[in-house]
Amino acid sequence: MMGRREGEQGQFFYSFHLDKVVPPDHLVRQIDGLLDLDWVHKELAPYYSHTGRPSIDPVLMIRMLLIGYIFAIRSERRICAEIQVNLAYRWFCKLGVEDRIPDHSVFCRARNERFRESDALRRIFEGVVAMCIGAGLVGGEAFSIDASLIKADVNKTKRIPGDQPFSWPKAEEASHAVREYLVALDAARGQEDHGGDDGSGEGGRRRKPPKEVSLTDPQATWVARPGLDPFLAYDANYLIDNKAGVIIDAAGSRANRAVEIAVTQTMVERVERRFDLRPRTLAGDTAYGAVRLLKWLVDRNIAPHVPVWDKSARPDGTFSRADFVFDQGRNIYVCPGGAELTSTGNIDQGHIVYYRASKNDCSRCSLKPKCTTATVRKITRDLNEDVRDRVRALANTEAFEQSRRERKKVEMRFAHMKRILRLDRFRLRGLSGVRDEVLLTATAQNLRRLAKLLCRVPPSRATICPA
Ligand code: SF4
């Protein structure tokens, strides 16, 4: 017989305990048992005034943000709405059923002021990494690096060519993203005047203006690749430990290769400083095969398991540099015809050395049609070519193969970021917003991973997770 609920909607008084309605194996319980935010009030106290109305509790805001990033809720307005109706989220945020949810507008100010000044989001991320290390999920022996392009939150039609002069609004009338761009531009000019880098803090030298500049978020990079509709983007950079795929460092950055290399150096140094971990190997794709990074790694006894970036091969079938033999002792190249190419002594761009054959040898050489159309053949050699040779030799080892296989873990982190956490487009504008989003996403991924690995054992046997 069909049942039917009858009568009044409910009783007059309820006995209700929020803790009892959240299932013991719910992800929020597992993560709550791992999370340590005890330091927040003490550390952030200097960034709050001692007078006036009390602000929203920063721990509540951090918990709300984490709910958003862990459960792929992609807007702060939506996070507030979900916490309003979801009891498990309320429980995680330590809110009672009748407590008011803060307005979404409080996050913007907290992020742009107190959280940024105190570096709170990085501290939370590093706290979670420290927990992963404590739980034995980090080997510290082999790391992998990669960067993934994420679309910027802009309308790409609102842009101008990078070399076109543009009158930007005054700072007080400009958006946060434009203000940040103008400050970075001033800093870059100052650096250039003193012969330094581009002032991005990421070591990239700006040799020419960008191709296109967004009027909404001018720090976003115009990405035009074959087969892809061009778009404006930033990079999410991840450094992972190969043992369990824990993200050991994360950074949002402008999207270009020089910046990716500078960010890699920053992350490797930061991990060593914070956690006293220096890997024996670092795996990466060809984008990380620039000699500057290879030498930097080799100098620190880190074996670069990276394909060497080498443009010396010639697609037209003529002899490439690999066909010439370098004689280290005499500092000469010997060509396929047996002639010697000697150094001109000139060093270009601070690291490129030229070697030339003699006019006499080339003019009577039968191999000349396969070698050069110029009067004499010239080849270049990097001052650190021996480093590249050492890295090339690593490519044939079993350890390199293993690193290449394990490097897939960093690609899987990015796939998880885009498909499960739905970060295929940044929500915040400006480089600082992008950095915040990358850090929060990496924190959420590590927390989910930590919960998965530690909390799948029965609760009675789990040492860290109390669920
Ligand atoms: S053209 Fe000159 S450099 Fe080339 S193979 Fe002949 S002698 Fe050697």
184 lines ligand 1 (CB under 6 A): no
Q: How confident is the model at residue 457 (pLDDT cuts 50, 70, 90)?
A: low
329 CA → ligand 1 middle, Å: 21
Whether residues 73 and 143 fall in one domain: no
Whether residues 92 and 157 fall in one domain: no
The pLDDT value given to residue 47? 84
Whether residues 287 and 325 fall in one domain: no
**What are the pLDDT digits (tens) for 104-145?**
988 888 888 888 888 999 999 999 999 999 999 999 999 999
Q: How confident is the model at residue 399 (pLDDT cuts 50, 70, 90)?
A: very high
pLDDT at 358 exceeding the cut of 60? yes
Packed helices 430-454 and 176-193: angle between N→C axes, nearest 10 degrees: 110
Q: Which of 84, 118, 152 is the endpoint of a domain?
A: 118
State which ligand 1 atom lies nearest to the alpha carbon of 365: 6
150 lines ligand 1 (CB under 6 A): no
Structure-token pair, residue 330: 């005499």
Residue 412 located in a structural domain: yes
Residue 350 located in a structural domain: yes
321 CA → ligand 1 middle, Å: 12
Q: What is the mean pLDDT of residues 293-312?
A: 92
379 lines ligand 1 (CB under 6 A): no
State which ligand 1 atom lies nearest to the alpha carbon of 341: 3
Residue 429 to residues 104, 112, 184, 437: CA-CA distances in angstroms? Answer: 17, 11, 15, 10
Whether residues 106 and 235 fall in one domain: no
Whether residues 297 and 195 fall in one domain: yes
377 lines ligand 1 (CB under 6 A): yes
Q: Which range (163-177, 223-237, 298-312) has the least confidence?
A: 163-177
Whether residues 53 and 174 fall in one domain: no
Residue 275 located in a structural domain: yes
Question: By percentage, how much of the chain surpasses pLDDT 90?
Answer: 61
Domain count, the chain: 3
339 CA → ligand 1 middle, Å: 7
362 lines ligand 1 (CB under 6 A): yes
Whether residues 369 and 402 fall in one domain: no
Q: How confident is the model at residue 309 (pLDDT cuts 50, 70, 90)?
A: confident
336 lines ligand 1 (CB under 6 A): yes
Question: Amino acid letter at 419?
Answer: R
The pLDDT value given to residue 187? 81
Q: What is the mean pLDDT of residues 252-271?
A: 95
Q: What is the mean pLDDT of residues 346-357?
A: 88
Q: What is the mean pLDDT of residues 289-316?
A: 91
pLDDT at 442 exceeding the cut of 60? yes
The pLDDT value given to residue 467? 42
Whether residues 227 and 302 fall in one domain: yes
337 lines ligand 1 (CB under 6 A): yes
Whether residues 178 and 215 fall in one domain: yes
308 lines ligand 1 (CB under 6 A): no
Q: Which of 73, 89, 118 is the endpoint of a domain?
A: 118
The pLDDT value given to residue 77? 93
Residue 403 located in a structural domain: yes
Q: 3-state SS string over the chain?
A: CCCCCCCCCCCCCCCCCHHHHCCCCCHHHHHHHHCCCCCHHHHHHHHCCCCCCCCCCHHHHHHHHHHHHHCCCCCHHHHHHHHHHCHHHHHHCCCCCCCCCCCCHHHHHHHHHHHHHHCHHHHHHHHHHHHHHHCCCCCCCEEEEEEEEEECCCCCCCEEECCCCCCCCCHHHCCHHHHHHHHHHHHHHHHHHCCCCCCCCCCCCCCCCCCEEECCCCCCEEECCCCCCCEEEEEEEEEEECCCCEEEEEEEEECCHHHHHHHHHHHHHHHHHHHCCCCCEEECCHHHCCHHHHHHHHHCCCEEECCCCCCCCCCCCCCCHHHCEEECCCCEEECCCCCEEEEEEEEECCCEEEEECCHHHHHCCCCHHHCCCCCCCEEEEECCHHHHHHHHHHCCCHHHHHHHHHCHHHHHHHHHHHHCCCCCECCCCHHHHHHHHHHHHHHHHHHHHHHHHHCCCCHHHCCCCCC
Residue 240 located in a structural domain: yes
* Ligand 1 mutation target, pool 363, 372, 379, most atoms within 8 A of CB: 372
The pLDDT value given to residue 314? 84
Counting every residue written for the chain, the total comes to 467
Residue of the nearest CA to atom 3 in ligand 1? 377
The pLDDT value given to residue 48? 83
**What are the pLDDT digits (tens) for 176-230?**
888 888 888 888 777 666 554 443 444 445 557 888 999 999 999 999 988 889 9
Residue 314 located in a structural domain: no
Residue 208 located in a structural domain: yes
Whether residues 300 and 422 fall in one domain: yes
The pLDDT value given to residue 317? 84
**What are the pLDDT digits (tens) for 78-104?**
999 999 999 999 999 999 888 999 999
Q: How confident is the model at residue 52 (pLDDT cuts 50, 70, 90)?
A: confident
338 CA → ligand 1 middle, Å: 8
Question: By percentage, how much of the chain surpasses pLDDT 70?
Answer: 92
Whether residues 270 and 415 fall in one domain: yes
Q: Which range (9-13, 425-429, 433-437) has the least confidence?
A: 9-13
User: Residue 380 phi/psi, 5° resolution?
Assistant: -110, 155
The pLDDT value given to residue 289? 92
Burial of 79 (C-beta count, 10 Å sphere; 0-12/13-18/19+): buried
Sign of CA dihedral 271, 273, 276, 277: positive
pLDDT at 274 exceeding the cut of 80? yes
In this structure, the number of other CB atoms found within 10 A of the CB of residue 310 comes to 16
Closest CA to 386 of 329, 323, 443, 314: 329
Average confidence score pLDDT of the chain:
88
368 lines ligand 1 (CB under 6 A): yes
Q: Which domain holds residue 281?
A: 139-307+395-442
Residue of the nearest CA to atom 7 in ligand 1? 362
In this structure, the number of other CB atoms found within 10 A of the CB of residue 43 comes to 14
375 lines ligand 1 (CB under 6 A): no
Residue 450 located in a structural domain: no
377 CA → ligand 1 middle, Å: 6
Taking a C-beta distance cutoff of 8 angstroms, is the pair 102, 80 a contact?
yes
Residue of the nearest CA to atom 2 in ligand 1? 362
pLDDT at 157 exceeding the cut of 50? yes
Whether residues 252 and 294 fall in one domain: yes
Structure-token pair, residue 246: 């824990």
The pLDDT value given to residue 201? 43
383 CA → ligand 1 middle, Å: 23
Q: 3-state SS string over 336-386?
A: CCCCEEEEEEEEECCCEEEEECCHHHHHCCCCHHHCCCCCCCEEEEECCHH
* Ligand 1 mutation target, pool 324, 333, 354, 362, most atoms within 8 A of CB: 362
Structure-token pair, residue 254: 């402008």
149 lines ligand 1 (CB under 6 A): no
335 lines ligand 1 (CB under 6 A): yes
Q: What is the mean pLDDT of residues 410-433?
A: 94
